Copies of this chain bind each other. A is one copy, B any other.
Amino acid sequence: MRIYFTFDPRPDLKEPLVKQFPHVEFIFHARLDEEELEKADVLVTYGEDLNDSRIEIAKNLKWIFVASAGIEKMPAKAIAERNILVSNVRGIHKTPMAESILAHILSLKRALPFIYENKRNKVWDKKAQLSELNGSTALIIGPGAIGSEIGRLLQAFEVYTIGCNRSGEDAPFMNETYRIDELESQLPKAHIVISMLPSTPETKHLIKLDHFKLMRDDAIFMNFGRGNVVKTDVLIQALEQKLIFHAVLDVFEEEPLPLSSKLWEIDNVTISPHFSSHSSRYVERSLEIFKPSLEKWLNGETDVENKMNILRGY
Protein backbone atom coordinates (compact mmCIF):
# COMPACT_ATOMS: atom_id res chain seq x y z
CA MET A 1 0.00 0.00 0.00
CA ARG A 2 1.74 3.12 -1.27
CA ILE A 3 0.43 6.59 -0.65
CA TYR A 4 2.05 9.26 -2.72
CA PHE A 5 1.94 12.91 -1.64
CA THR A 6 2.88 15.41 -4.37
CA PHE A 7 3.48 18.05 -1.69
CA ASP A 8 5.62 17.83 1.40
CA PRO A 9 3.91 18.62 4.74
CA ARG A 10 5.89 20.06 7.66
CA PRO A 11 7.61 17.41 9.85
CA ASP A 12 5.29 18.08 12.81
CA LEU A 13 2.31 17.18 10.58
CA LYS A 14 3.96 14.38 8.58
CA GLU A 15 5.35 12.38 11.50
CA PRO A 16 2.07 11.74 13.36
CA LEU A 17 0.50 10.62 10.07
CA VAL A 18 3.26 8.11 9.37
CA LYS A 19 3.06 6.83 12.94
CA GLN A 20 -0.71 6.44 12.84
CA PHE A 21 -0.52 4.16 9.77
CA PRO A 22 2.53 1.91 10.29
CA HIS A 23 1.55 -0.55 7.52
CA VAL A 24 1.32 2.11 4.87
CA GLU A 25 4.29 3.22 2.79
CA PHE A 26 4.21 7.02 2.48
CA ILE A 27 6.16 8.88 -0.16
CA PHE A 28 6.38 12.67 0.08
CA HIS A 29 7.67 14.71 -2.84
CA ALA A 30 7.48 18.44 -3.34
CA ARG A 31 6.36 17.77 -6.94
CA LEU A 32 5.02 14.85 -8.96
CA ASP A 33 7.50 12.24 -10.18
CA GLU A 34 6.00 9.90 -12.82
CA GLU A 35 8.00 6.84 -11.71
CA GLU A 36 6.52 7.14 -8.24
CA LEU A 37 3.07 7.85 -9.61
CA GLU A 38 3.18 4.51 -11.44
CA LYS A 39 3.43 2.63 -8.14
CA ALA A 40 0.95 4.67 -6.07
CA ASP A 41 -2.33 3.24 -4.74
CA VAL A 42 -3.43 6.57 -3.33
CA LEU A 43 -2.47 10.03 -4.57
CA VAL A 44 -2.64 13.09 -2.31
CA THR A 45 -2.37 16.21 -4.46
CA TYR A 46 -3.41 19.84 -4.79
CA GLY A 47 -5.05 18.70 -8.03
CA GLU A 48 -3.00 20.73 -10.47
CA ASP A 49 -0.41 18.09 -11.49
CA LEU A 50 -2.61 15.57 -13.33
CA ASN A 51 -3.52 15.04 -16.98
CA ASP A 52 -4.82 12.21 -19.20
CA SER A 53 -1.44 10.58 -19.78
CA ARG A 54 -0.54 10.64 -16.08
CA ILE A 55 -3.79 8.89 -15.22
CA GLU A 56 -2.74 6.23 -17.72
CA ILE A 57 0.71 5.95 -16.08
CA ALA A 58 -0.88 5.61 -12.63
CA LYS A 59 -2.03 2.09 -13.24
CA ASN A 60 -2.45 1.13 -9.55
CA LEU A 61 -4.29 4.32 -8.59
CA LYS A 62 -7.57 3.74 -6.77
CA TRP A 63 -8.12 6.97 -4.82
CA ILE A 64 -7.17 10.61 -5.38
CA PHE A 65 -7.38 12.84 -2.31
CA VAL A 66 -7.42 16.46 -3.51
CA ALA A 67 -6.19 18.88 -0.83
CA SER A 68 -8.10 21.71 -2.49
CA ALA A 69 -11.71 22.65 -3.09
CA GLY A 70 -11.45 23.14 -6.83
CA ILE A 71 -10.95 20.26 -9.30
CA GLU A 72 -11.23 22.32 -12.51
CA LYS A 73 -7.72 21.35 -13.60
CA MET A 74 -8.18 17.57 -13.22
CA PRO A 75 -8.70 15.20 -16.20
CA ALA A 76 -12.26 14.32 -15.17
CA LYS A 77 -13.17 11.96 -17.99
CA ALA A 78 -10.00 9.82 -17.71
CA ILE A 79 -10.48 9.54 -13.92
CA ALA A 80 -14.16 8.62 -14.26
CA GLU A 81 -13.42 5.96 -16.90
CA ARG A 82 -10.96 4.27 -14.55
CA ASN A 83 -13.55 4.56 -11.74
CA ILE A 84 -10.96 6.13 -9.41
CA LEU A 85 -12.41 7.39 -6.12
CA VAL A 86 -11.98 11.17 -5.71
CA SER A 87 -12.48 13.13 -2.50
CA ASN A 88 -11.52 16.67 -1.57
CA VAL A 89 -11.31 19.10 1.35
CA ARG A 90 -14.56 20.96 0.76
CA GLY A 91 -15.26 23.41 3.58
CA ILE A 92 -11.60 23.91 4.44
CA HIS A 93 -11.68 27.52 3.19
CA LYS A 94 -14.55 28.50 5.45
CA THR A 95 -12.59 29.73 8.47
CA PRO A 96 -9.73 31.65 6.81
CA MET A 97 -12.02 33.27 4.24
CA ALA A 98 -14.58 34.38 6.81
CA GLU A 99 -11.75 35.81 8.93
CA SER A 100 -10.39 37.74 5.93
CA ILE A 101 -13.84 39.17 5.19
CA LEU A 102 -14.28 40.28 8.82
CA ALA A 103 -10.74 41.68 8.88
CA HIS A 104 -11.40 43.88 5.84
CA ILE A 105 -14.77 45.15 7.07
CA LEU A 106 -13.51 45.97 10.57
CA SER A 107 -10.35 47.55 9.20
CA LEU A 108 -12.39 50.01 7.12
CA LYS A 109 -14.87 50.73 9.94
CA ARG A 110 -12.09 51.31 12.48
CA ALA A 111 -9.76 53.34 10.21
CA LEU A 112 -6.82 50.91 10.09
CA PRO A 113 -5.57 52.14 6.68
CA PHE A 114 -5.45 55.66 8.20
CA ILE A 115 -3.58 54.35 11.28
CA TYR A 116 -1.04 52.47 9.14
CA GLU A 117 -0.44 55.46 6.87
CA ASN A 118 0.10 57.82 9.81
CA LYS A 119 2.53 55.37 11.37
CA ARG A 120 4.56 55.36 8.17
CA ASN A 121 4.59 59.15 8.16
CA LYS A 122 5.14 59.46 11.95
CA VAL A 123 1.94 61.45 12.36
CA TRP A 124 -0.25 61.47 15.49
CA ASP A 125 -3.70 62.34 14.14
CA LYS A 126 -7.05 61.61 15.74
CA LYS A 127 -9.13 63.16 12.97
CA ALA A 128 -10.52 60.05 11.33
CA GLN A 129 -14.17 59.08 11.04
CA LEU A 130 -14.35 55.86 13.03
CA SER A 131 -17.61 54.02 12.51
CA GLU A 132 -18.95 50.66 13.66
CA LEU A 133 -19.89 47.32 12.20
CA ASN A 134 -22.44 46.87 15.01
CA GLY A 135 -26.00 47.45 13.86
CA SER A 136 -25.18 47.25 10.13
CA THR A 137 -27.01 45.19 7.54
CA ALA A 138 -25.06 42.79 5.33
CA LEU A 139 -26.25 41.18 2.11
CA ILE A 140 -24.53 37.91 1.26
CA ILE A 141 -25.01 36.83 -2.34
CA GLY A 142 -24.43 33.08 -2.46
CA PRO A 143 -24.55 32.03 1.22
CA GLY A 144 -23.05 28.53 0.98
CA ALA A 145 -20.68 27.05 3.57
CA ILE A 146 -18.37 30.09 3.51
CA GLY A 147 -21.17 32.64 3.30
CA SER A 148 -22.91 31.08 6.28
CA GLU A 149 -19.73 31.20 8.32
CA ILE A 150 -19.45 34.90 7.44
CA GLY A 151 -23.07 35.29 8.55
CA ARG A 152 -22.33 33.57 11.84
CA LEU A 153 -19.46 35.94 12.62
CA LEU A 154 -21.37 39.03 11.46
CA GLN A 155 -24.28 38.14 13.74
CA ALA A 156 -21.86 38.11 16.69
CA PHE A 157 -21.29 41.80 15.84
CA GLU A 158 -25.09 42.32 15.87
CA VAL A 159 -25.24 42.67 12.09
CA TYR A 160 -28.53 41.89 10.34
CA THR A 161 -27.78 39.33 7.62
CA ILE A 162 -29.70 38.93 4.36
CA GLY A 163 -28.91 36.02 2.08
CA CYS A 164 -29.59 35.84 -1.65
CA ASN A 165 -29.51 32.44 -3.35
CA ARG A 166 -31.09 30.66 -6.30
CA SER A 167 -34.01 29.15 -4.41
CA GLY A 168 -34.63 31.84 -1.80
CA GLU A 169 -34.70 29.03 0.79
CA ASP A 170 -33.41 29.76 4.28
CA ALA A 171 -29.64 29.57 4.68
CA PRO A 172 -27.84 29.18 8.05
CA PHE A 173 -27.04 32.42 9.94
CA MET A 174 -29.13 34.56 7.59
CA ASN A 175 -31.91 36.61 9.21
CA GLU A 176 -33.75 36.57 5.88
CA THR A 177 -33.12 34.90 2.53
CA TYR A 178 -34.32 36.02 -0.89
CA ARG A 179 -34.07 34.70 -4.44
CA ILE A 180 -31.37 36.08 -6.75
CA ASP A 181 -34.10 37.66 -8.90
CA GLU A 182 -35.12 39.71 -5.83
CA LEU A 183 -31.58 41.10 -5.43
CA GLU A 184 -32.52 44.62 -6.60
CA SER A 185 -35.04 45.06 -3.79
CA GLN A 186 -32.46 44.13 -1.12
CA LEU A 187 -29.43 46.12 -2.31
CA PRO A 188 -30.57 49.52 -0.93
CA LYS A 189 -30.77 48.05 2.61
CA ALA A 190 -27.19 46.82 2.87
CA HIS A 191 -24.17 48.57 4.36
CA ILE A 192 -22.08 45.62 3.19
CA VAL A 193 -22.65 43.60 0.02
CA ILE A 194 -20.62 40.39 -0.28
CA SER A 195 -20.52 38.23 -3.39
CA MET A 196 -19.55 34.62 -2.75
CA LEU A 197 -20.94 33.44 -6.09
CA PRO A 198 -19.10 30.68 -7.97
CA SER A 199 -18.38 30.97 -11.68
CA THR A 200 -21.27 29.53 -13.68
CA PRO A 201 -22.97 30.61 -16.92
CA GLU A 202 -25.74 32.27 -14.83
CA THR A 203 -23.41 34.27 -12.55
CA LYS A 204 -21.20 35.69 -15.33
CA HIS A 205 -21.49 39.52 -15.25
CA LEU A 206 -24.55 39.16 -13.01
CA ILE A 207 -23.73 42.35 -11.08
CA LYS A 208 -24.10 45.39 -13.34
CA LEU A 209 -23.68 49.15 -12.96
CA ASP A 210 -27.40 49.46 -12.15
CA HIS A 211 -26.84 47.23 -9.11
CA PHE A 212 -24.19 49.62 -7.82
CA LYS A 213 -26.60 52.51 -8.37
CA LEU A 214 -29.06 50.75 -6.07
CA MET A 215 -26.46 50.37 -3.29
CA ARG A 216 -26.05 52.91 -0.46
CA ASP A 217 -23.30 55.44 -1.16
CA ASP A 218 -21.64 54.38 2.11
CA ALA A 219 -21.75 50.68 1.14
CA ILE A 220 -18.74 48.35 1.10
CA PHE A 221 -18.83 45.91 -1.81
CA MET A 222 -16.75 42.73 -1.48
CA ASN A 223 -16.09 40.09 -4.13
CA PHE A 224 -14.60 36.92 -2.69
CA GLY A 225 -16.41 34.50 -5.02
CA ARG A 226 -15.30 34.59 -8.65
CA GLY A 227 -13.95 37.52 -10.63
CA ASN A 228 -16.29 37.34 -13.62
CA VAL A 229 -19.40 38.13 -11.55
CA VAL A 230 -18.67 41.83 -12.26
CA LYS A 231 -16.96 43.34 -15.29
CA THR A 232 -13.81 45.18 -14.23
CA ASP A 233 -15.00 48.24 -16.19
CA VAL A 234 -18.24 48.28 -14.22
CA LEU A 235 -16.30 48.18 -10.94
CA ILE A 236 -14.08 51.04 -12.09
CA GLN A 237 -17.11 53.13 -13.04
CA ALA A 238 -18.87 52.42 -9.74
CA LEU A 239 -15.77 53.41 -7.77
CA GLU A 240 -14.89 56.47 -9.84
CA GLN A 241 -18.46 57.75 -9.64
CA LYS A 242 -18.39 57.03 -5.89
CA LEU A 243 -21.63 55.06 -6.14
CA ILE A 244 -20.29 53.14 -3.12
CA PHE A 245 -17.79 53.90 -0.36
CA HIS A 246 -15.25 51.15 -0.97
CA ALA A 247 -14.70 47.81 -2.71
CA VAL A 248 -12.63 44.92 -1.38
CA LEU A 249 -11.72 42.46 -4.11
CA ASP A 250 -10.06 39.09 -3.70
CA VAL A 251 -10.92 37.89 -7.23
CA PHE A 252 -10.65 39.55 -10.64
CA GLU A 253 -11.69 38.93 -14.23
CA GLU A 254 -8.01 38.62 -15.09
CA GLU A 255 -5.55 37.27 -12.52
CA PRO A 256 -2.96 38.46 -11.67
CA LEU A 257 -4.60 41.86 -12.06
CA PRO A 258 -2.57 43.47 -14.91
CA LEU A 259 -0.27 46.31 -13.90
CA SER A 260 -2.06 48.44 -16.50
CA SER A 261 -5.42 48.07 -14.72
CA LYS A 262 -6.96 51.32 -13.60
CA LEU A 263 -8.02 49.57 -10.35
CA TRP A 264 -4.47 49.98 -9.03
CA GLU A 265 -4.87 53.78 -9.32
CA ILE A 266 -8.20 54.04 -7.51
CA ASP A 267 -8.14 54.95 -3.82
CA ASN A 268 -11.38 53.42 -2.56
CA VAL A 269 -10.52 49.83 -3.45
CA THR A 270 -8.57 47.09 -1.66
CA ILE A 271 -6.80 44.58 -3.90
CA SER A 272 -6.25 41.19 -2.30
CA PRO A 273 -4.34 38.81 -4.60
CA HIS A 274 -6.87 35.92 -4.53
CA PHE A 275 -5.37 34.47 -1.37
CA SER A 276 -8.02 35.00 1.27
CA SER A 277 -8.40 31.21 1.63
CA HIS A 278 -4.71 30.79 2.45
CA SER A 279 -3.84 29.73 5.95
CA SER A 280 -0.85 28.42 7.83
CA ARG A 281 -3.27 25.73 9.08
CA TYR A 282 -4.24 24.54 5.61
CA VAL A 283 -2.21 21.32 5.50
CA GLU A 284 -3.05 20.53 9.14
CA ARG A 285 -6.77 20.80 8.31
CA SER A 286 -6.39 18.75 5.10
CA LEU A 287 -4.75 15.95 7.07
CA GLU A 288 -7.54 16.12 9.65
CA ILE A 289 -9.91 15.25 6.82
CA PHE A 290 -7.54 12.74 5.20
CA LYS A 291 -6.76 10.61 8.25
CA PRO A 292 -10.26 9.32 9.10
CA SER A 293 -10.88 8.82 5.38
CA LEU A 294 -7.74 6.70 5.12
CA GLU A 295 -8.87 4.64 8.14
CA LYS A 296 -12.14 3.93 6.34
CA TRP A 297 -10.51 3.20 3.03
CA LEU A 298 -8.05 0.73 4.56
CA ASN A 299 -11.11 -1.07 6.00
CA GLY A 300 -12.49 -1.43 2.49
CA GLU A 301 -15.05 1.34 2.83
CA THR A 302 -15.41 3.90 0.04
CA ASP A 303 -17.86 6.37 1.62
CA VAL A 304 -15.04 8.73 2.63
CA GLU A 305 -15.73 12.36 3.58
CA ASN A 306 -16.31 14.78 0.69
CA LYS A 307 -16.50 12.03 -1.92
CA MET A 308 -16.94 13.71 -5.29
CA ASN A 309 -18.60 13.07 -8.57
CA ILE A 310 -15.70 14.13 -10.76
CA LEU A 311 -17.82 14.51 -13.91
CA ARG A 312 -20.43 16.70 -12.19
CA GLY A 313 -17.60 18.75 -10.68
CA TYR A 314 -18.66 18.72 -7.01
Contacts and interface: CB of A to CB of B under 8 A. Distances in A.
A276 interface: yes
Given A264-B119, A270-B115, A281 B106 contact: no
Contact of A153 (B116, B122, B156, B256): B156
A107 B112 contact: yes
A275 interface: yes
A121 to B, nearest CB: 9
B96 A107 contact: no
Question: How many copies of this chain are found per oligomer?
Answer: 2
Nearest to A280: B131
Given A275-B128, A278-B126, A106 B109 contact: no
Interface in A153-176: 153, 156-157
B109 A112 contact: no
A126 B276 CA distance: 10
A13 interface: no
A170 to B, nearest CB: 21
A264 B123 CA distance: 9
A129 B118 CA distance: 24
Interface residues on A, range: 35 or more
Interface string A99-136: 11011101101101101101100101110111111110
B131 A279 contact: yes
A257 interface: yes
Given A118-B271, A126-B273, A156-B156, 10 more contacts: A95-B134, A96-B130, A103-B106, A112-B112, A122-B264, A126-B274, A132-B279, A134-B281, A135-B281, A153-B156
23 contacts: A96-B130, A96-B132, A99-B106, A99-B110, A103-B103, A103-B106, A104-B110, A104-B112, A113-B116, A118-B273, A119-B264, A119-B269, A124-B257, A124-B271, A124-B273, A126-B273, A126-B274, A128-B278, A130-B278, A132-B280, A134-B281, A152-B156, A153-B157
